[in-house]
Every structure is written in structure tokens, then in C-alpha cells.
Amino acid sequence: MTFCPLRQRSRLCTNKCTGQSTFSWWMCFHTEALLYGFQSIAETIDVNYSDVVPGLIGLIPRISISNVQLADTVMFTIGALSEWLADHPVMINSVLPLVLHALGNPELSVSSVSTLKKICRECKYDLPPYAANIVAVSQDVLMKQIHKTSQCMWLMQALGFLLSALQVEEILKNLHSLISPYIQQLEKLAEEIPNPSNKLAIVHILGLLSNLFTTLDVSHHEDDHEGSELRKLPVPQGPNPVVVVLQQVFQLIQKVLSKWLNDAQVVEAVCAIFEKSVKTLLDDFAPMVPQLCEMLGRMYSTIPQASALDLTRQLVHIFAHEPAHFPPIEALFLLVTSVTLTLFQQGPRDHPDIVDSFMQLLAQALKRKPDLFLCERLDVKAVFQCAVLALKFPEAPTVKASCGFFTELLPRCGEVEPVGKVVQEDGRMLLIAVLEAIGGQASRSLMDCFADILFALNKHCFSLLSMWIKEALQPPGFPSARLSPEQKDTFSQQILRERVNKRRVKEMVKEFTLLCRGLHGTDYTADY
């Protein structure tokens, strides 16, 4: 019932719009309102069984889009119907030419690019007949620099979805056509003396490549709308096309890095290419692991940067558990750990982003491959002490990452001997740092993180914690001068009794930190 009046009015309005030589503002307004209605319907209910949508799709090309605002709305309406188009691929040809034509209009940049991306994502298995045209039009608008940077990145993501549905030979052919101009430009830039203009161009090209590789996944499969079957591509033979391209441009990327290694933005852009490729390709990225580990080691040894640690973390997450890849992963892990520990000795407060990423890397290593902490060359004691120091950083993300490291480390006390040894020797130092934070040195928003450490200590190091906590709370005024001995004793007993319910421990810590700060019972903390 909802669709009938909309159908009648949309046809009437469209006939008026296409039949008048002068497109009046009220016709535009009326048509736009109807299209917004269809957008809302398509985004909130299942329109697959509606008899109205085919009529709308057929009428859309007849709507005059000389008005930019109306053209924008037409594009967004097509995008909203992309899932419907995936189930009715015969209708794609009715709207795709309109979208490709709109790509050449800078005033329709956001709407046309986002709509093409939706169509390529939802309908990619039905787009191979149109692939050559889509790639050609996209390449043309990219070369003409019609769109802003963000839309260029979206467009490359759209092309990644599109190419994923092609045969490997076709993917490589289209990749060569698409990225060759950028590779040639990058080769030229790599020969020139670094300057701000060159930097922008390099970052832009690297960004285009990383966004393309984010969505180009030949092994990907997706559920159909009925949820009963899987639509799959045939298993591709030979190396992954993305890996082929990365291997071809690897030396060029290294050359760019050699001149821009001290620029965090360029390094981050380089790491993004590999990080996004790793996330998309997973095991298919394996052929690149040894040379990438070697490159990351050289990068980080020369100038430590957080982006290199983030990429290392991805490699650890995906490949550290595989025996064939463990040696290069272990070598890289030991190297970046050694360099970062040296950085701590020189003054880590100037590099909170590096400390943050380092703590996340350590936590990932413990989670995926605790054996990395068994190596004799790893100074586990120094790592532990640096993590305790990181708990006192003013930056909340760094503190959270450090807490995350300890919540991964403490459960390994029994299974990883070096970890158990360092906890026994320096665990009291950790507890004091946690109590200081709860006592008022850290933001109240971080109390759940510190509660997690207390819970882990209590669960995995109970005998040690029961001794440490009484000793630590004994000095007057610690962790707060506002606490009485009775309040401290009550808190320690409550914590030691609760070894199962983490939520209850968090409530205890929140209550205790309010007492430490003199805020307990005030209106200021009523909702805390």
C-alpha cells in the first residue's frame, strides 16, 4: 500500500520533468522529495519483492539532472538501491551509464563516487561485462584530477571490489593499465630531491595503491541475500595478483623510503599499503613476509616510527604461529623490541605513539605466539619495567595499551618461564604503579583498565598479590592521604576475595578511587 501513491506520483512528476523544456524549481523539488522517499524505503525495508522499484529504475534515466542538487539525489537513490540491483542484475545497465557519466562532474563527486563504490561492492559478480568501461572512465577522471583526495581513495576501493570478481589474467591486465601511470610518476619522484610538493604526490599515489589493495580480494566470498548459499569465485591458480604487483614495485618503494625515511607521513603511507594488503590477503600474503620483515627492520632501526610497529603487529597476528614464517617474524620482533628499549632509555615521553604501538605489539605477541618471549635475546625484565613506566604516561591510549599488555602477560606466568620469573621479581612494582593510578594519578576513565590488571594479578598470582597488597598499602598516605587504614584494609580484602567476577572488581576499584580523590558521595560522581 505504501508504494502505490509513490509510484503514481513519481511517474507523473517524471513525465512533467522530461516533458517540459523549462525545468522549474518546484518540479525539481517535487521529484527530489519523491526520490528521498524511495531512499528511505530502500534503506529501512526489504524492497526485493516490490513491483515499484523496477519502474523507478526504468524512470531514473529519464529524469532531467541539469539541476545539480537533483542529480545528487538521483545518485544517492541509485546507491540506496544497490542491494536490489545485486538481486536484479538485468537492471544494472539502466543506471550504470548515468553513474559513470556523473563521475566526470566535480559537483557530483561525493554522490557519484560513493554510488559507484556501493554498486561495485554489492553487484561485483555481475559487473564483469561492464568492467572495461568502468575502469576506463575511472582512470580518465583520476588522471584529470576531477575529484578530491578522499573521493579518489573511494574510487580506488570501488575498483578493488570490481577487479575482485574478474579472472586473474583480467585482474593483472586491468591492474597494469590502472596503476602503470602512477608507478611511472612514482619512479620519477623517487629520483628527485625531496620537497613538500613531491611529498604530497608520493603520499597521494601510495594512498591510491593502499585503497585499491584494501578491497581487491580474489579469494573473497560472500553470503547471498537468502543466506542459504555461498557465491564464490573459482579458486585462483598461481600467485595472488596483489602480491605480484607488490613484488614488482617493492624495490621502488624501498627507493622512495631511502629518501623519505625521516618523514612520518611517507613512512605511514608505505606501511599502509602493506598493512591493508596483509589484512585483505591474509595467508596469500605469505610470499612477501621475509622481504617485508627485512625492510621493516631496516626502517625501524634507522628511525623508529609507530606505523612500522603497527605493521609488525599485523605480521605477528597472521604469520607468527606458522613455523615457516616464525624465523623472520622472530628476528623482526627482537629487533624492534631492542630499538624501542633503547628509546626508553633516551626518553620515551616524547614518543607516546611509539610506546602505544609497542605495547600493542607486545600484547599481540603474547596472545598469538608466547614463544616469542622464550628467546634468550629478549630482555623480558626490561620490557616489563618499560611497560610499568608506560602506565604513568599522561596519554590515555598509551596507558590503555600498557594495561592491555599486562592483562595478556600475567596469565602466561605459569607457561612462559621468563614471564613468571619477572613477575615474581618485579610484580610488586607493577602493583604499586596500579595503586598510584587508582589513588589519583590517572584519569578516572581508565579505572576499568587498571581493575583488569588487579583481577589478572589476583587470578594468576594470588599468593604474591596477597603479600604485596598488604605491604603496599601499609605506608601512611599511600595511595592517598584521604584514606584511613580501615578503608585500605577493606579494599585489599575485597580484592583478594574476588577472583571470578571481573565486573565486581571494577566496581570496587571505582568506589576506591572516589575515596582516594575525596569525591565519594558527591553529586559530581552520582552517575560514575
- C-alpha to C-alpha distance for 110 and 114, rounded to whole angstroms: 6
Do 121 and 82 touch, CB atoms closer than 8 A? yes
Amino acid identity at 407: T
Sequence-ordered list of residues with C-beta below 8 angstroms from that of 265, at least 6 positions apart, any chain: 199, 203
Cell digits of residue 127: 559487473
| Other Cβ atoms within 10 Å of 325 Cβ, number | 19
Q: What does the pLDDT profile of the chain (528 residues) look like in tens digits?
A: 444 444 544 454 445 444 444 445 445 555 666 665 666 655 655 555 556 667 677 777 777 777 788 888 889 889 988 988 998 899 899 999 999 999 999 999 999 999 999 999 999 999 999 999 999 999 999 999 999 999 999 999 999 999 999 999 999 999 999 999 999 999 999 999 999 999 999 999 999 999 999 999 987 544 433 333 334 444 456 788 999 999 999 999 999 999 999 999 999 999 999 999 999 999 999 999 999 999 999 999 999 999 999 999 999 999 999 999 999 999 999 999 999 999 999 988 889 999 999 999 999 999 999 999 999 999 999 999 999 999 999 999 999 999 999 999 999 999 999 999 999 999 999 999 999 999 999 999 999 999 999 999 999 999 999 999 999 999 999 999 999 999 999 999 999 998 889 999 999 999 999 999 988 777 666 555
Distance CA 29, CA 399 (A): 53
Phi, psi of 354 (to 5 degrees): -70, -45
3-state class percentages of the chain: helix first, strand second, coil last, to nearest 5: 75, 0, 20
* Burial 284-313, CB ≥16 within 10 A → b, else e: bbbebbbebbebbbebbeeebbbbbbbbbb
**From the centroid of its chain, how far is CA 425?**
37
Partners of residue 223 on adjacent β-strands: 230
User: C-alpha grid cell for residue 508?
Assistant: 570496587
- Per DSSP (E only), the strands in 72-160 are none
Number of H helices and E strands in the chain, helices first, is: 24, 2
In sequence order, what are the residues at sequence separation of 6 or more whose Cβ sits closer than 8 angstroms to the Cβ of residue 503? none
Measured CA to CA, the distance from residue 418 to residue 380 in angstroms comes to 7
Q: Does residue 232 sit in helix, strand or coil?
A: strand
DSSP state of 391: T
The DSSP string of 255-287 is HHHHHHTT-HHHHHHHHHHHHHHHHHHGGGGGG
CA distances from 198 to 193, 194, 202, 385, 386 (A): 8, 6, 6, 42, 38
Nearest alpha-carbon partner for 426 in 480, 371, 385, 476: 385
Strand partners, 222: 231
Q: What backbone phi and psi angles, to 5 degrees, belong to 223?
A: -75, 140
E strand or H helix that includes residue 104: none
For cell 509510484, what's the residue?
A: 7
The C-alpha cell at 78 is 541509485
C-alpha count within 13 angstroms, C-beta hemisphere, residue 265: 10
pLDDT for the residue numbered 26: 46
> How many CB atoms are closer than 10 A to CB 111?
23
Question: Helix or strand or coil: residue 221?
Answer: strand
Cell 570501488, residue?
158
Q: Burial letters for 185-219: b for 16+ Cβ neighbours within 10 Å, e otherwise?
A: ebeebbeeeeeeebbebbbbbbbbbbbbbbbbbbe
- Rounded to the nearest 10 degrees, how much is the dihedral formed by the CA atoms of 500, 373, 337, 388? 30
DSSP 8-state assignment for residue 145? T
User: Mapping DSSP to helix (H, G, I), strand (E, B) and coil, where does residue 277 land?
Assistant: helix
Q: What are phi and psi of 231, to 5 degrees?
A: -95, 115
**Helix boundaries (H) for 149-195:** 149-164, 168-191
E-only strand ranges, 250-351: none
Q: Closest Cα partner for 57 from 72, 40, 79? A: 79
CA distance 79 to 119: 7
DSSP 8-state assignment for residue 439: I
Cβ(353)–Cβ(401) below 8 Å? no
The end-to-end CA distance of the chain, in Å, is 49
Residue 219 has a pLDDT of 78
Q: Tell which residue, 485, 436, 430, has the closest CA to residue 458.
A: 430
